Structures are given as structure tokens and as C-alpha cells.
């Protein structure tokens, strides 16, 4: 279901509307190489989770948080706290810190991923400082359709899944189930043994994830649709310890025996006459998390002061309403209201339970007019506000009161069809982000002082793009230029106080000003019916203007992806690819990791009975490399899988 809560994803490209069963097609009708990834593309290039799939887009960089064994991305230098993630227009994040570990999310079968960078829609709700990501699951078109797959890969890993759905005259259904586990990934032969890691199989690098999702929809009329759906995720993982050379970094012996997430939602779309549509969403999301910190690498005792067992019990409940009208010729008017309540409970064994709760809302208005000469102008504004319902000082148990904060988010986008095959856009937007519960109230394991008075961060974006097709659609191209200025950025200020032992404490404050600028390029060429190539490139320069000594982390300055799809035989397809990323800052104090490069290869062999056998390798060069300092990446990995479609 591609519900119109994200209709305004249109700032970067033109969008079309379909009358089939009332579905709003949130898909570019003109070039979309900078913003769209299909599950087929992710499967071809062996991207197993959502973080890896997103890096097929220029300007999206894979980021690893080694201290928590999490996979994330940065988008034009903005991290996932600043770029919300939606699945079928339902927000997906952890209320406590605002992040989502995308390594826990599989790519939906026959689905699609869309990214709005910078100029994210004003009608999509709050906290889209740097853009947004929306993942769309498949919608069946036949009475019965689906796929089954299973595979294995290096590190005693295996995965499998089933996807099935069906469409009837007045209703449809869809169910997906996926599973992945790995005992341990292996390190490169070039890895130099360290006191906490002797090489070979990476200690404490196991993982296990499974996810089930389903939807049933009633479509009583062509313009009406009502959907009930759910997702259930269950996961556990180990956290490999730090093996770098910084003596100030403490070794952590952490494991997550529980990383569970349940989401239930309702989506509705109703026609209120010829020109007016009403859409509504309701959702409830629960996240339960258990973290165990042990004394040493035996992971069997918890006697030291640094050891603990911590439980998080978080939930989010909310909904939205969107009203759209097209009664004025060549004009679309729309308004949206969003509301959610975030609840976080923290409890360590032997300590009291602490509760935090926020209430966040947003109201937005947007108008779009299309002109006869091939241009359109879209203007909108949203007003967001947040109120603290419940908060507490976890050292003293004293209630805290944060009051209410608010922000305005205006946006203007101009688009023009230069020719039948070339389109350009130019836009400006101001976006904001409310600080998370962790930002405001966490003592950061005794290293920080909370700051309940943090204000929203704000960013001003200027975005220009142009793209088109040639050679009867066999060649696609798209380029983009962007500039973003971030004000009141939340940054760490050191030594604001001292412990009795003399150790300095830091505090997060609104003291930062930063600038992100860059260029993106995407090319796709189908030379013949048997040869297809693609290029993705991004240059991103992210600078801290107010304090150059505090570095922006996780984003390489240059990044390139090259790939080919070669149909060498009617039954055999070869898919080589090459990823290269410049060195990047791995910490705010300037620690860096080197160049990341990976040569990958996949072959697909068509078998009888609508089956496909895939096999190949990632990191063929067996490079010893890192995305986070002190946390080496996996060695060359071999894989084989088989898929049957019906």
C-alpha cells in the first residue's frame, strides 16, 4: 500500500496517480536514479539488509556503529537520527535515541525503497531534518503469487524466506516471512592479532533475526482502500569488542539476547467526491531490548562495576490524517496532521525503573500548481511541536519538566520539463529536529551531564537537480547539487564539570553550525538486450563551521559504485560490481578509517520450474578494512542461494 501520507515525496521528481484500486503511485514518472531502489536491484547486487540496499543510491553511505554492533547509513552527511525511516508510511525507530538499526531489517520481496534528500515532504510529519526513507512492501496483482528462497554464506550463515499474496475483486492479502542467522563472520588474513582478538572467526559476532509481516485490505470501490497490517521482528546479537589502538577506549563485553519489535497499523483511503480524498493512519509500535554487559570475554560473569543487565521497554502510538483536493484546475491543495506519543522505560537489575514520555504533533499545508508551459510550483509549511509528559533525573529520581518546544518548516520547489525527456527542479526548505530522550536526559554511563533544555536543530537546504533519458529510454542520467546549513546543531561540549576524581564531564548543547555541500551523479545504460551498466557517484563535503575540532563522522568525501549485468547466455547472468569509498572520520575528535573498497561478483542461473540459482562472493580482494575505528569488517564471503517464484 503506497498511501498518500507521503504524497509530497514529489519535490525531487514528478509523480503520477493511478486509478487502479485507488492506489497512489509514489514513484517517479521521470528520472529517479538518485532516489529509488527496487528489491530486485538489491537482490541482484546481494544487499541482504536495508542498510546495504540504501547504499545503492549516491549520497547514501554505509555506517557501522561498532560499539553497539549496529548498521546504519548517512544521507548527504545526515545520520538516521536526522533522517526518519518509514515502512509503508509507518515510522520505524527506537523512541529512546531516535535511531533504527537497519541491519535488523530485511529488504521486502518485490518492494521498493524511496529516499527524499533534504527536500523531504512537509506533509510527512516532524523530525525530517536531513530527509526521509520510505520502504514500500509489495502489493499483489494476481490471485496467488509469491516466492520462496533459501541460501547459505560464509560464517555458518544461512537465510530463507517466503513471500505470498493474492488479489481478489474487493480485497487482497500479503504475507512475508524471512530469517537470517550467522554464527560468526571471519576476518581477513591481513588482520594483525590483538589482545582481544586473535583473528579467524570474529569473537562474539553472532546474529539471528527473523521477521514476519502481513496485510489484509478491503477495496470496496476504486478510490477506497482499508488496510490492517502487522510486523513482528525477533533478534539477538553479539557485540564484537574494540580491537583498535586507542588506549582511552574501554573494552566492552556486550550481548543483546533480545532485540524485539512489534508493529500494528491501520491505513485508510476514502474518496469524498470527485476531487477530494481523505487518508488516515493509526499505528502502535513496541520495542523491547535487553542488553547484558559482562566482565570479560568469557561472557559468563557480571561482578565488576562496569557490568549490568539493562532492559528497555519502549512504545510509540500515533496516527495521521491527510486531506487532498483537486477541484481547482491544475492545482492540488493538501493538509496533514500527525500525532504520536513516545514512551521509554529503562531499568537495570537492582535499580529503580525510570519512565520518559514525549508528545509530538505536526500540522502541514501544501499547494501545487501546474503551468501550461511545463512548469509546476509547490509551496508548503508545517508547524511541529513537542511537549514533555514525563521525565526524571536517573541519578536522583527527581522529576524533570522540559515544557513545550516548537518549530516551523517552510518549503518551495519549482520543477520544469525542459524537453519531453529532460526535467529539472530547484528547491529550498527549512527543516527541524527535536532532540531525543537520550540527548536530553542520559548521563552516558557517568560521562555526561543531561540537558533537558536542548532546543530543536534546524537546517536550510538548497537543492538543484536535472535528469533525463535518451536512446529511446536505454540511457538514463540524473545529477544533483545541494547545500545545507545546520544551525543550533547539538554538539558535545567537554569539561563543563568534573567528578570528585577529577575526570571531566561533557554536556550536549545547541552550539553547532555546520555546512554540507555536494554533487551526485547516477547513470544507467542498457547497451544491448544483454548488457547493462550503472554508475553512482557522490562528492560530499561536511564541515563543522562553529568548531572545526569537532568532526562530522561517518561520511566519506568521495564514493563510487560501478556495476554491470551481463546476460551471457539465455540461462546465465553475471553481475560484477565495485564499491569504493574515501577515508572518513570515525570519531568527533578526528580518528579516521582508511579507504573502503569491495569487489563483488554474482552469477544467476535459471533452472527449470521458475527457479533461479545464485552464487558468488563479496569482498573478493579480502581487504582488511573498517567502517568504524577498531571494528574490522568481514573477510571475503562466499554465498549460494536458490529462489522459486510462483
Report the alpha-carbon distance of residue 519 to residue 515 in Å, rounded. 14
> Is the pLDDT score of 31 beyond 80?
no
Report the alpha-carbon distance of residue 265 to residue 152 in Å, rounded. 33
Q: What percent of the chain has a predicted confidence (pLDDT) above 70? A: 95
Q: What would the mean pLDDT of 408-431 be, rounded to a whole number? A: 96
> Is the pLDDT score of 469 beyond 90?
yes
> Is the pLDDT score of 16 beyond 70?
no
> Is the pLDDT score of 8 beyond 80?
no
Of 160, 211, 176, 43, nearest in space to 113 by CA: 43
What dotted CATH number matches 4-645?
A: 2.40.170.20
Q: Where are the alpha helices (DSSP H) in 181-281?
A: none
Q: What is the pLDDT of residues 265-300, one digit of tens each?
A: 999 999 999 999 999 999 999 999 999 999 999 999
Longest dimension (CA), the chain: 74
Q: Which burial class, exposed, middle or buried, applies to 9 when counting CB atoms under 10 A from its CB (0-12, 13-18, 19+)?
A: buried
* Phi, psi (degrees; rounded to nearest 5) at 463: -135, 130
Find the angle CA(21)-CA(22)-CA(25) to the nearest 5 degrees: 105
What is the pLDDT at residue 110? 67
Q: Where are the alpha helices (DSSP H) in 528-599?
A: none
> Is the pLDDT score of 204 beyond 60?
yes
Q: Are 133 and 86 spatial neighbours (Cβ–Cβ below 8 Å)?
A: yes
32 band by pLDDT with thresholds 50, 70 and 90 = confident
CA 607 to chain centre: 34
Question: Which of 18-32, 378-392, 458-472, 593-607 has the lowest average pLDDT?
Answer: 18-32
**405 Cβ contact list (under 8 Å, min separation 6):** 385, 386, 434, 455, 456
What is the rounded average pLDDT for all residues in the chain? 91
Q: What would the mean pLDDT of 84-104 be, rounded to a whole number? A: 89
Kindly provide the b/e burial profile for residues 65-82, where b requires at least 16 CB atoms within 10 angstroms of the residue's own CB. bbbbbbbbbbbbbbbbbb
Q: What is the pLDDT of residues 594-643, one digit of tens each?
A: 999 999 999 999 999 999 999 999 999 999 999 999 999 999 999 999 99
What is the pLDDT at residue 357? 96
Gyration radius (Cα) of the chain, Å: 24
The residue to which cell 515502512 is assigned:
87
370 band by pLDDT with thresholds 50, 70 and 90 = very high
Of 92, 115, 80, nearest in space to 6 by CA: 115
Of 213, 178, 207, 212, nearest in space to 101 by CA: 207
Model confidence, pTM: 0.91
Report the alpha-carbon distance of residue 381 to residue 367 in Å, rounded. 10
Other CB atoms within a 10 A radius of the CB of residue 461 amount to 24
What is the pLDDT at residue 248? 84
23 band by pLDDT with thresholds 50, 70 and 90 = very low
Q: Which burial class, exposed, middle or buried, applies to 261 when counting CB atoms under 10 A from its CB (0-12, 13-18, 19+)?
A: buried
Report the alpha-carbon distance of residue 626 to residue 53 in Å, rounded. 19
> 3-class SS at 22?
helix
Q: What would the mean pLDDT of 467-474 be, rounded to a whole number? A: 94
Amino acid at each position: 500500500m503506497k498511501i498518500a501520507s507521503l504524497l509530497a515525496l514529489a519535490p525531487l521528481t514528478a509523480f503520477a496517480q493511478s486509478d487502479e484500486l485507488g492506489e497512489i503511485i509514489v514513484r517517479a514518472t521521470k528520472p529517479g536514479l538518485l532516489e529509488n531502489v527496487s528489491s530486485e536491484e538489491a537482490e541482484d547486487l546481494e544487499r541482504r539488509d536495508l542498510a546495504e540496499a540504501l547504499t545503492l543510491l549516491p549520497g547514501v553511505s554505509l555506517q557501522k556503529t561498532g560499539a553497539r554492533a549496529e548498521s546504519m547509513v548517512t544521507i548527504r552527511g545526515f545520520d538516521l537520527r536526522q533522517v526518519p525511516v518509514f515502512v509503508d508510511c509507518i515510522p520505524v525507530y527506537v523512541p529512546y535515541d531516535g535511531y533504527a538499526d537497519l541491519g535488523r531489517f530485511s529488504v521486502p520481496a518485490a518492494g521498493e525503497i524511496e529516499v527524499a534528500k533534504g527536500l523531504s515532504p512537509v506533509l510527512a510529519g516532524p523530525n525530517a531534518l536531513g530527509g526521509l526513507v520510505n520502504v514500500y512492501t509489495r502489493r499483489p496483482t494476481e490471485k496467488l503469487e509469491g516466492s520462496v528462497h533459501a541460501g547459505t554464506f560464509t560464517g555458518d550463515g544461512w537465510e530463507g524466506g517466503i513471500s505470498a499474496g493474492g488479489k481478489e475483486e474487493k480485497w487482497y492479502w500479503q504475507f512475508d516471512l524471512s530469517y537470517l542467522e550467522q554464527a560468526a563472520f571471519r576476518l581477513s588474513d591481513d588482520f594483525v592479532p590483538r589482545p582481544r582478538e586473535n583473528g579467524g572467526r570474529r569473537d562474539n559476532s553472532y546474529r539471528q533475526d527473523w521477521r514476519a509481516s502481513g496485510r489484509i485490505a478491503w477495496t470496496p470501490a476504486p478510490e477506497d482502500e482499508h488496510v490492517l497490517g502487522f510486523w513482528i521482528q525477533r533478534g539477538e546479537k553479539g557485540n564484537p569488542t574494540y580491537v583498535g589502538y586507542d588506549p582511552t577506549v574501554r573494552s566492552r563485553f556486550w550481548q543483546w539476547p533480545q532485540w524485539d519489535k512489534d508493529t500494528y497499523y491501520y491505513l485508510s483511503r476514502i474518496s469524498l467526491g470527485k476531487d477530494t480524498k481523505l487518508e488516515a493512519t493509526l499505528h502502535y509500535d513496541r520495542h523491547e531490548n535487553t542488553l547484558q554487559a559482562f566482565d570479560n570475554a568469557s561472557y559468563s560473569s557480571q561482578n565488576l562495576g562496569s557490568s549490568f543487565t539493562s532492559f528497555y521497554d519502549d512504545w510509540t502510538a500515533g496516527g495521521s490524517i491527510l486531506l487532498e483536493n483537486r477541484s481547482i484546475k491544475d492545482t492540488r491543495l493538501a493538509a496533514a496532521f500527525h500525532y504520536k506519543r513516545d514512551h521509554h522505560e529503562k531499568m537495570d537489575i537492582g535499580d529503580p525503573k525510570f519512565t520518559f514520555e514525549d508528545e509530538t504533533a505536526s500540522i502541514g499545508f501544501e499547494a501545487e500548481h501546474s503551468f501550461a508551459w511545463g512548469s509546476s510550483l509547490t509551496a508548503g509549511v508545517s508547524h511541529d511541536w513537542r511537549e514533555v509528559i514525563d521525565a526524571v533525573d536517573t541519578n536522583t529520581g527527581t522529576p524533570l519538566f522540559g515544557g513545550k518546544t516548537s518549530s516551523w518548516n517552510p518549503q518551495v520547489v519549482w520543477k520544469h520539463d525542459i524537453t519531453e525527456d529532460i526535467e529539472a527542479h530547484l528547491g529550498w526548505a527549512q527543516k527541524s529536529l527535536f532532540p531525543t530522550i537520550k540527548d536530553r536526559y542520559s548521563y552516558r554511563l557517568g560521562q555526561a551531564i543531561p540537558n533537558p533544555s536542548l532546543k530543536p536543530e534546524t537546517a536550510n537546504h538548497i537543492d538543484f537537480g536535472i535528469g533525463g533519458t535518451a536512446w529511446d529510454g536505454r540511457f538514463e542520467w540524473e545529477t544533483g547539487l545541494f547545500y545545507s546549513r545546520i544551525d543550533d546543531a547539538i554538539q558535545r561540549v567537554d569539561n563543563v564539570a568534573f567528578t570528585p576524581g577529577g575526570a571531566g564531564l561533557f554536556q550536549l548543547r545547541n552550539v553547532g553550525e555546520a555546512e554540507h555541500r555536494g554533487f551526485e551523479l547516477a547513470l544507467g545504460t542498457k547497451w544491448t538486450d544483454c548488457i547493462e551498466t550503472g554508475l553512482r557517484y557522490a562528492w560530499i563535503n561536511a564541515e563543522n563551521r562553529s568548531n572545526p575540532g569537532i568532526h562530522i563522522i561517518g561520511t566519506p568525501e568521495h564514493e563510487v559504485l560501478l556495476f554491470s549485468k551481463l546476460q551471457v547466455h539465455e540461462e546465465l547472468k553475471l553481475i560484477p560490481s565495485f564499491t569504493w569509498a574515501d577515508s572518513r572520520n570515525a570519531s568527533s575528535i578526528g580518528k579516521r578509517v582508511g579507504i573502503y573498497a569491495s569487489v563483488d561478483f554474482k552469477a544467476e542461473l535459471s533452472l527449470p520450474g521458475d527457479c533461479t540459482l545464485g552464487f558468488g562472493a563479496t569482498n573478493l580482494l579480502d581487504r582488511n578494512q573498517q567502517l568504524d575505528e577498531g571494528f574490522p569488517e568481514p573477510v571475503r564471503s562466499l554465498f549460494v542461494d536458490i529462489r522459486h517464484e510462483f
